[in-house]
Structure 1
Amino acid sequence: MVRFILALFAAALPFALSGAQAAPYPERPIRVLVPYPPGGTTDVMARAMQDPLSRLLGQPVVVENRAGAAGAIAAREVAKATPDGYTLLFSNDGPSVIAPLLQKQAGYDAMTSFTPISLVATQPMILVVNGDLPVDDLEGFVAYAKRQEKPLLYAHAGTGSSGHLSTELLAQTAGIQLSAVPYKGSSVTTLGVMNGEVQVLLTTSTPTMLDYIRAGKLKLMGMSTTTPDRLPPGTPLISDMFAGFKQENWFGLVGPAGLSPDITQKLNAAIRDVVAQPEVKRIFLAAGFIPMTGSPAELQATIVASSKLWQSVIAERGIAAD
């Protein structure tokens, strides 16, 4: 009799486990970690999606800010989380790709530690110079930089930041000498170039930056990729002059490695739906972002390309973490 009961239990166990594994997702709140302080542009995007995602998924989506170590703190927490879809990272190439390349103790790898879910947006970059610099266009800027006995100074928001590595890539591609001046945050880099502490800044095309350009406090030399119509007509693409330079920031949602395909696809579909909503698009565009979703495979390809690019720039320019 005992053997018979055990046999029945053994036969029923796989079905019980299958039922448990097939439990609908999500069943509880989902945490989305943002690797920057509250109020920044990445945080603004995450919170713009928070309520629509909650309604669509039927569970609260909770945005949590985990700033520090150039985003590595948040990225490491997600990389080490259980791959059940309840701990996700809203990130860009800084925390996801650059931080583990520069920080030996980052504790995660861009290629193996995450499951890509979806692109969310891109953000073009613009090259600006101090309003008093005697140049009016990209060609004139490059010629002026090459004539100087000392390198022009450029601002960036910290070692390994997008602006830092992108400017090094520009200097390498254009064959000019630029010397880095680190600042603590992107807002003070803008003040630094307007005040003449530095001459050059490669940064994101936010509405505030464009106001400074219209006011003549900054001169716009070029943009990294095609952008919305808010930029002045005829703004040149840097890549038209230097084919090796095509750079824009990307933002996307990832989970820990091992996230199931079903959960990945459900989250991907939800992101696509939310980013297409008019109010979300309005908030993104107002903050200087271009809404852009894609498949998990497309995000993975973006991560691979970013990793190859920044690994090369870091090695060739001799960049090391502070």
Structure 2
Amino acid sequence: MRKILRSISIALLALAGVSATSGAGLAGEWPKDKPITLVHAFAAGSDYLARLVAAALEKGVGQTVIVENKPGAGGAIGTGYAARQKPDGYTLVTAYPGPAANFTNTMPGLPYKPLEDFEHIIQFSVGDMVLVARKDFPADNLKDLIAYAREHPSQVSAGNNGIGSYGHMIETAIMDMADIDIKLVSYKGSPPIVTDMLSGSVDLSVDYLGDAYIKHIEAGTLKPLAVISASRAKILPDIPTLKEAGLDLVAVPWGGIMAPKGTPPAIVRKINEVLTEYLKSEDAIRKFAVAGQIAAPTTPEAFHKIVVDEEALWRDIIAKYKIRSE
């Protein structure tokens, strides 16, 4: 009997050892097997932040991190590709409001489920959206803009980066909330919007507060009317938020990192820890500011909530106006 009990004890200890070794092996081996790929679902030139984050992760985990651009369909192609990869910590993907949340409602037939097919690792940035007007537009604030638009229905034009873009949805929400009719004009990028505003061909724009606008705002050739954030932009301290100006809308574009659903929690935590440390550094804060962005790390749980709340924020507007991403 003693021999039987002794054999059972040895077997249980051996099993426990195997289990412990397996768990330790996962944390210990990753990411030694091969380089990590960070998929950026947009074209080269839009990957400044992605490359900063990749470099920080590479330094933090001691493994090469390759940024792979997979543009197309507003980010849906690259994001969908990442969703189909093995959840082993070797494929990550940058996350932005459209492909990571709002395409749920704006892109019928989407080949992945944004809210279900990923582990949300960390938010790495937030930025400001700005409502800006051409220099000689006959309104200097939101109240006057609304009054002018009501007196001139369908005569005020507003540029954006395409149907389903963040700017387009904010413009649609402003029209809905203020009960005004503005002609929305789609462009492929911010520079041509700015060019047409400078020439007087288009009156307004809701867009990311980045270099394309900042230099003209500082020069006085474009005038900001409101920012769409919860608080005023640091570089535009005298410009009210949309909420301060009278419309209860807060919309903050964000960037983050996701991994295919099922990626081990230990790997998710490790990536989060490494990037959180970097994003809190003076180096990250300074380099993100160059792109008009704020380094803003979160826990995985907090980032998941941000993505879920994003989809909920726009769901009704998307349905009401039948918005479909281009």
| Same structural fold, with TM-score higher than 0.5 when normalized by the shorter chain | yes
Equivalences for 1:288-303 in 2 at 5 Å? 288-303=292-307
Q: Is the 8 A contact 2:43 2:69 kept in 1?
A: yes
Residues 105-184 of structure 1: matches in 2 within 5 Å?
105-184=109-188
Cα distance in 1 between the residues matched to 2:44 and 2:221: 28
Taking the aligned partners of 1:224 and 1:304, their CA distance within structure 2 comes to 19
Gaps of 5+ in 2: 1-9
Q: Secondary structure at the match of 2:45?
A: coil
Give 1:171 deviation, angstroms: 1.6
1:282 maps to which residue? 286
CA distance in 1, matches of 2:21, 2:284: 36
Unaligned ranges ≥5, structure 1: 1-7
3-state DSSP class of the match of 1:221?
A: strand
Letter in 2 for 1:47: R
The answer to whether the Cα contact below 8 Å between 2:227 and 2:233 also exists between their aligned partners in 1 is no
Match of residue 37 from structure 1? 43
Sort the Cα spacing of 1:103 and 1:14 in 2 relative to 1 into closer, same or farther, 3 A: farther
Does residue 16 of structure 2 align to residue 26 of structure 1? no
- Does 1:230 find its partner at 2:235? yes
Cα-to-partner distance string for 1:7-41 (whole Å, 9 max, x where unaligned): x999967855763453222122111111111112x
Q: CA deviation at 1:205?
A: 1.1
Distance 2:108 2:157 in 1: 28
Q: CA RMSD in A?
A: 2.1
Counterparts of 1:1-322 in structure 2 under 5 Å?
16=18, 19-23=21-25, 24=28, 25-27=30-32, 28-40=34-46, 43-225=47-229, 226-231=231-236, 233-322=237-326
Query: Residue 100 of structure 1 contacts residue 107 of structure 1 at CA under 8 Å; is this kept in 2?
Result: no
1:183 and 1:189 in contact (8 A); partners too? yes
Equivalent pair of 1:78/1:89 in contact (CA under 8 Å): yes
Q: Which amino acid aligns with 2:235?
A: R
Answer yes or no: is the 8 Å Cα contact 1:71–1:99 preserved in 2. Answer: no
Q: Deviations over 1:185-219 (max 9, x none)?
A: 22222222222222110011113412111222211
3-state SS in 1 of match to 2:94: strand
One-letter code of the match for 2:225?
M
Contact 2:103/2:110 (<8 A) preserved: yes
SS in 1 for 2:87: coil
> Cα 1:218–1:155, aligned 2, differ >3 Å: closer, same or farther?
same
**1:242 Cα offset (Å):** 3.3
Name the SS for the 1:120 alignment partner.
strand
Once residues 14 and 74 of structure 1 are traced to their aligned partners in structure 2, the CA distance between those partners, rounded to angstroms, is: 41
Contact preservation (8 Å) 2:160, 2:186: yes
Preserved contact between residue 194 and residue 212 of structure 2 (Cα < 8 Å): no
Q: Aligned partners of 1:169, 1:195: CA distance in 2, in Å?
A: 26
For residues 257 and 98 of structure 2, what CA distance do their matches in structure 1 show? 13
| Inter-partner Cα distance in structure 2 for 1:117 and 1:304 | 14
Q: Distance in 2 between matches of 1:321 and 1:210?
A: 27
Distance 2:81 2:13 in 1: 39
